[in-house]
Amino acid sequence: MSAVLLPILFPLAGMGWALLTCSRPRVSLAGAMGAIAVAGAACVYVALVDHAGEQELLLPLSWPLPLAQACVRVDGLSAWFLLVIGALSVPVAVYSWGYMQAPGERQGVPAYAALLCLLVLALILVVLAADVVLFLVAWELMSLSAFFLVGRDDRRREVRTGAWTYLVATHLGTGLAVLPMFAVLAARSHSTQFSDFGAALASAEPSVAVGVCALAVVGFGTKAGFVPFHVWLPEAHPVAPSPVSALMSGVVIKTGIYGILRTLSWLPALPAGLGVVLLLLAIVTGVFGILHALGQRQLKRLLAYSSIENVGIILLGIAAGVLGRATNQPMLEALGYAGALLHVLNHAVFKGLLFLSAGAVIHATGTGDMERLGGMARTHPWDAAWFLVAAAAICAVPPLNGFLSEFLLFKALLVGSTALTPALSAASAAGIAALAIMGGLALSTFTKAFGTVYLGTPRFDTREAHATPMSMGRGMALLSLACVALGLLAPAIAPNLARAVQVILPDALPASGVVSDATGTLARPAGMFLFVLFIVAALFRFRAACGGRGAAVDRQPTWGCGFAEPTSRMQYSGGSFVDKLALSFRHVVPRRRQVVPPAGYFPNAGRMESATPDRLLTSVFAPLFAGVARACERCRPLQVGRVQMYLLYLVGTLLLVFAAESWYAPYSAEQVAARAASGRQVSTPAHEVRTTEGESNR
Amino acid sequence: MNTQMIVDSVLVLVILLDLAMLAVSRLATCIRLFALQSLLLALLPLAATTGRGEIPGLHEITVAAGALGLKVILLPRILLRIIRTGEIHQEIEPFIGFTASVLVGAGLVIGSFAVTRGLPLPVDRISDFLPPVSAATILVGLLILISRVKAVTQVVGFLVMENGIYLFGLLLLEQTPLLVELGILLDLFVGVFIMAIVVYHIRREFDHMDTHLLDTLKEA
C-alpha cells in the first residue's frame, strides 16, 4: 500500500469513529482528533520523506465517478501543500482536545469531530486530486464541512450571518468562475485529467490563456480572499470555533492559492500586462487588508483582515512569477513563486498559531474584544509567549519564519525592478514599496494586538479567568516551535520548495539550476540567524557572568504615570494606540470617528468612538445583495402552490428548450452532416450520415 | 389499402382521440377514449411487422400484450372503479375550458409537426407520422395534466403522456431491449396504482377530488 493513502484513510476512519461513538463525546473526540493528528503526520511524511526521491506519484483509484475516474497524484506542488496541511492539522487536533472540553463547547462535540475530519480529508483530496471531478467534489466537501463548522454555534445571529456569507461567497466563486474555467480547460483538452491540460493549452491563443487566468483569479481568489472578494473572511473567521478559524485561515484559503498556482502551471506565458494587473491586485489586497486590520477591535476580526493582507503578499509573489514568465526572467519567476509558496507555509503556521492564541484568550476570558482585555501576560504567561512568537513571525522579525518568505519576495521584486523595462520596473518597485508599507503596518497592528491583550493592567476580572488546558498549550507550543524551526532550518526544505516551484514552471525553461539557486538563497539568512543567535546567546551568557541584572527598585502598574490610584481605564487602549496612524491613512481607508469632548470648567463626561468599517462591504456588497433579495422576493408570486401551475412551468421550460433546440439545431440532420463532412474532409451523402447517427444512438 | 396507409390512419386516429379527450367533460368517456387509444397503439407494432411481411416476433408480441393487458384493460378498470366509488362523474370548471383546450391542443399538434421534422431519427421507421404524433400525444398529456382539476383526470393525463412516450419507443423498437419496455410498463402500473390509492385517500380525507384545493401546502 502506498503511503499516499494514509492521509486519506485516517480522516475517513476518524470520521467513522466519531459518528459511531457519538453517544460518548470524549471517546469520539479523542479518536477523531487522534486520527487527524496521525493523518497530519502522514501528510508531512509523504511530503518530506516518501516523496523526496520520486518526482511524481500517480495513483488511480479504481472508483469510476460520473464522467471521470478518480485519480490521485502527488507532485511537488501537491506535496508542498500537503506539508502545509499536515503542519497545521496536527497542532489543531491537539488543541481541539482541550478546546472542545470547555464548558461552553460541550454541545455537539461528536459532530464537530466528524466534520473536522471531513474538512481535513477534503483539504487533502483537494491538493491531491488529479482530475477535475474529484477536485470539484473535494472542493465542495471542503466548502460544506467548513460551512457547518463555522456555523457551529448557530444560536448566535452573527454566527449564522458569517456562515451564510461564507457559503454564498464560496459558491458564487465556484459557480461563476471555477466551473467555467474547468469547462474551458476540459473542452480544449477533451479530457478531465489535469495532466492533459498543459499540453492542450501550450499553444492556446493569448486571449484564452488570459481568460482562464482571470477566471482562476476570480474563482479561486474568492476562496483565497482577494479584495474585493474578501468580504466573507472578516465575517466567517471571527465566528468560527478557534481551531476551525486556524484551519480556515491557515489552509482553506490557501487552497485558493493552490488552485491559482495549479492553473498557472498549465498556462503558457501570459502577457506582462496581466502580471502588472495581478501586482496591483496584490498591492490593493495587502494594503487594504492590513489597514483594516489596524482599526479592528475584535481580536479574531483583526486576524482575519491580516489574513487578507498575507494573501496579498502571496499574490505579490505570484504576480512577480507571472511577470518573470512574461519577460523571460527565470530568476524573477523562480524567486516570486518560491516566495509565494514559502509564505503559504509560513502564514499557515503563524496565522494558525495566532488564531489558536486568540481561542485561548477567548477561552480564558470569554471575550475577544481587545478593549476588555489586558495584562494577560501575567495571568497566562505561556499563552503570551506563543502569541508573541507568532506576532513577531507575522511581522517578519528575524530569525522567525516570516522573515524568510518576505526576504525572498523582496529579492524577487528587486530583481524585477532592475532587470525589466522601465514601466515594469516601476510596477515592481511599487510592489517593494507596498510590501514595506504592509510590513510597517503589520508591525504596528500586532504591537497593538499584543500590547492591548497581554500587556498593561487587566480590564477584565482576573478572578474569573480560566487557565488554559494543557493540550491547548501543547498545540500552540508545537506551532511556535514550527515558527522557529522554519526560520532556522528553512534550507532543509529548500529542495521540496524547489520541486514545488518546478511544477509551476514550464518544462521548456532551463529551470532546475535557477530554481535551486532561488531557493538556495534561503541558506544565507538562515545561516545569518544562527550566527546572530549565537552572538546574542553569548552576550547573555557574558552578562550573566558579569552579575546579571540588578534588583528591581519598585513595581508599578503599567501606564501608572505616577498617579496614586491608577485604574486600568487610564492606560492606552488599542484604539488610542493606533488612532494617529489610522487617521493618517484615512484617505485610503476611511475611519469613522466621533468625539464628544468634555465641556465646561468642571468637565465630567466625554465620549469618543472610532472604528474602521469595511466600505466595500457596507456600500457595495450589502446593497447589491439586498437588491438580489428584493428581486427574489418579487419572484414569490410564482409560488402558487398548485400542482398544475408547477407542471405548466415544467412544460413551458421544456417547450422553450425544444424551440431553442429546433432553432439552433446542433443535432439536426444538416448540421450533423456538415460537421461530419468537415470532420472527415470528405463530402458524405446525407442519408449515410443519418445511418451512422442512428447506429451510434444504439 | 396497404399497411402503410393503415398505420398512418391509425396514427391520425390517435391524434383525433387526443383532441377528443381534451373536449369531453365526462370522466368515464375520457377514460374509455384513453382505453381506445391504448388499444390502437398496442396493435400498432403487430400491424407494422405484418405489414413488412414478417411474422411478429416474441418482442413485438410481448410489448403488445403487455400494453393491451395493462393500458386497455387493467388501468381503465381501476380508474372507472374510482369514479364509481367516488361518485365523481364530470370535470367541472377546468383551468382551461374545453373549447380552449381543444384549440391549444390543435396548436400543439401543429407545433409538433413543425418541430419534429428537423430531428435526426433512425431510418426505416414504420411511418413518417410517428415522431410528430408521439410528440403531440406527450404534449396533450401534459396539457391535460395542467388544465384539469380532478385527480382522476390528472392520472389520465399522465397515462396519455406515457402513450406518447410508448409511441416514440416504437421508433426504436428494434433497438430497445425487451426488459426496458417491460420495466416502463411496470413503472406505469405501479405509478397508477399509487395514484389511485392517493386519489382514494384524498377523497376520504377531504370528501372531494379537486387538486386545486390542495394549495394550502404552499409556503406562506
CB contact under 8 A, B120 and A669: yes
- pLDDT reading at A157 higher than 80: yes
d(CA A64, CA A69): 4
Does residue A686 sit at the B interface (CB-CB below 8 Å)? Answer: no
**More reliable by pLDDT, B57 or A256:** A256
Classify residue A286 by burial, with Cβ atoms within 10 Å: 0-12, 13-18, 19+.
buried
Q: What is the mean pLDDT of residues A291-312?
A: 94
Q: Residue B214: its pLDDT value, please? A: 62
Residues in chain B within 8 Å Cβ distance of A640: 215, 218
Residues above pLDDT 70, as percent of chain A: 90
CB contact under 8 A, A648 and B146: yes
Q: What is the mean pLDDT of residues B3-10?
A: 84
d(CA A231, CA A223): 10
Q: What is the mean pLDDT of residues A472-484?
A: 93
Provide the chain B residues 29-58 that lie in CB contact (below 8 A) with chain A.
Answer: none
pLDDT band at residue B57, thresholds of 50, 70 and 90? confident
Q: What is the mean pLDDT of residues B130-154?
A: 87
Which of B119, B120, B219 is closest, CB to CB, to A639?
B219
- pLDDT reading at B216 higher than 50: yes
Choose the weakest-confidence range: A48-62, A154-168, A403-417, A629-643: A48-62
What average pLDDT does the structure give for chain B? 81
DSSP state of A507: T
Q: Residue A250: its pLDDT value, please? A: 93
Does residue A675 sit at the B interface (CB-CB below 8 Å)? Answer: no
Does residue A649 sit at the B interface (CB-CB below 8 Å)? Answer: no
CB contact under 8 A, B115 and A665: no
Q: Residue A171: its pLDDT value, please? A: 94
**More reliable by pLDDT, A472 or A550:** A472
Cα separation of the two ends of chain B: 62
Q: How far is CA A199 from CA A117, A353, A635, in A?
A: 36, 41, 46
Does residue A647 sit at the B interface (CB-CB below 8 Å)? Answer: yes
A225–chain B nearest CA distance, Å: 36
DSSP state of A131: B
CA-closest candidate to residue B94, choices B85, B102, B86: B102
Q: Residue A19: its pLDDT value, please? A: 92
- pLDDT reading at B89 higher than 70: yes
For A645, nearest residue in chain B (alpha carbons): B146
What is the tens place of the pLDDT at every residue in B179-194? 777 777 777 777 777 7
CB contact under 8 A, A642 and B154: no
Q: What ipTM score was computed for the predicted complex, to two decimals?
A: 0.72
- pLDDT reading at A344 higher than 90: yes
d(CA B41, CA B170): 9
Q: What is the mean pLDDT of residues A365-391?
A: 91
Does residue A636 sit at the B interface (CB-CB below 8 Å)? Answer: no
DSSP state of A63: E
What is the tens place of the pLDDT at every residue in A78-130? 999 999 999 999 999 999 999 998 877 778 899 999 999 999 999 999 999 98
Q: What is the mean pLDDT of residues A601-627?
A: 86
Choose the weakest-confidence range: A360-374, A475-489, B197-211: B197-211
**More reliable by pLDDT, B74 or A556:** B74
B92–chain A nearest CA distance, Å: 15
Q: Which three cell numbers stand for residue A5?
A: 493513502
What is the tens place of the pLDDT at every residue in A429-464? 999 999 999 999 999 999 999 999 999 888 888 888
pLDDT band at residue A268, thresholds of 50, 70 and 90? confident
CB contact under 8 A, A641 and B215: yes
d(CA A353, CA B171): 68
CB contact under 8 A, B217 and A641: yes
Q: What is the mean pLDDT of residues A230-247?
A: 93
| Helix locations, A328-421, DSSP H | 330-365, 376-379, 381-394, 401-419
For B150, nearest residue in chain A (alpha carbons): A644
Classify residue A352 by burial, with Cβ atoms within 10 Å: 0-12, 13-18, 19+.
buried
CB contact under 8 A, B211 and A642: yes
Q: What is the mean pLDDT of residues A467-486?
A: 92
Instruction: Locate the domains of chain B by residue range.
Output: 3-217
Does residue A693 sit at the B interface (CB-CB below 8 Å)? Answer: yes
Q: Residue A508: its pLDDT value, please? A: 46
What average pLDDT does the structure give for chain A? 86
What is the tens place of the pLDDT at every residue in A518-557? 777 777 787 788 888 888 889 988 888 887 666 667 777 7
Residues in chain B within 8 Å Cβ distance of A655: 139
**More reliable by pLDDT, A678 or B31:** B31
- Counts for chain A of helices (H) and strands (E), in that order: 29, 4
Q: Which of A311-325, A497-511, A535-549 has the highest mean pLDDT?
A: A311-325
Provide the chain B residues 151-210 that lie in CB contact (below 8 A) with chain A.
Answer: 154, 172, 175
Residues in chain B within 8 Å Cβ distance of A659: 115
CB contact under 8 A, A690 and B154: no
Does residue A696 sit at the B interface (CB-CB below 8 Å)? Answer: no
**More reliable by pLDDT, B47 or A486:** A486
Residue pointed to by grid coordinates 524547489: A498
Q: Residue A695: its pLDDT value, please? A: 40
Beta bridge partners of residue A68, listed in sequence order: A65
CB contact under 8 A, A642 and B175: no
Residues in chain A within 8 Å Cβ distance of B95: 644
What is the tens place of the pLDDT at every residue in A7-62? 889 999 999 999 999 899 899 999 999 999 999 999 999 888 876 545 556 666 66
Q: Residue A663: its pLDDT value, please? A: 73
CB contact under 8 A, B120 and A691: no
Q: Residue A318: its pLDDT value, please? A: 95
For B111, nearest residue in chain A (alpha carbons): A659
**More reliable by pLDDT, B36 or A618:** B36
Choose the weakest-confidence range: A15-29, A406-420, A547-561, A649-663: A547-561
- pLDDT reading at A683 higher than 50: no
Residue of B91, B116, B142 to mutate when probing chain A, most A C-beta within 10 A: B142
Q: Which of A8-12, A194-198, A677-681 has the highest mean pLDDT?
A: A8-12
pLDDT band at residue A168, thresholds of 50, 70 and 90? very high
For B161, nearest residue in chain A (alpha carbons): A651
**More reliable by pLDDT, A258 or A491:** A258
B104–chain A nearest CA distance, Å: 13
B115–chain A nearest CA distance, Å: 6
CB contact under 8 A, A693 and B123: no
- pLDDT reading at A642 higher than 60: yes
Asked if A245 and A359 touch (Cβ cutoff 8 Å), the reply is: yes
- pLDDT reading at A225 higher than 50: yes
For B95, nearest residue in chain A (alpha carbons): A644
Does residue A665 sit at the B interface (CB-CB below 8 Å)? Answer: yes
Which of B120, B143, B145 is closest, CB to CB, to A667?
B120
CA-closest candidate to residue A408, choices A256, A520, A279: A520
Segment holding A58, helix H or strand E? strand A57-65
pLDDT band at residue B174, thresholds of 50, 70 and 90? low
Q: Residue A665: its pLDDT value, please? A: 63
- pLDDT reading at B129 higher than 60: yes
For B98, other C-beta atoms within 10 Å of its C-beta total: 14
Residues in chain A within 8 Å Cβ distance of B219: 639, 641
Q: What is the 3-state secondary structure (H, E, C) of chain B?
A: CCHHHHHHHHHHHHHHHHHHHHHCCEHHHHHHHHHHHHHHHHHHHHHHHHHCCCCCCHHHHHHHHHHHHHHHHHHHHHHHHHHHHHCCCECCCCCCCHHHHHHHHHHHHHHHHHHHCCCCCCCCCCCCCHHHHHHHHHHHHHHHHHHCCEHHHHHHHHHHHHHHHHHHHHHCCCCCCHHHHHHHHHHHHHHHHHHHHHHHHHHHHHCCCEHHHHHHHCCC
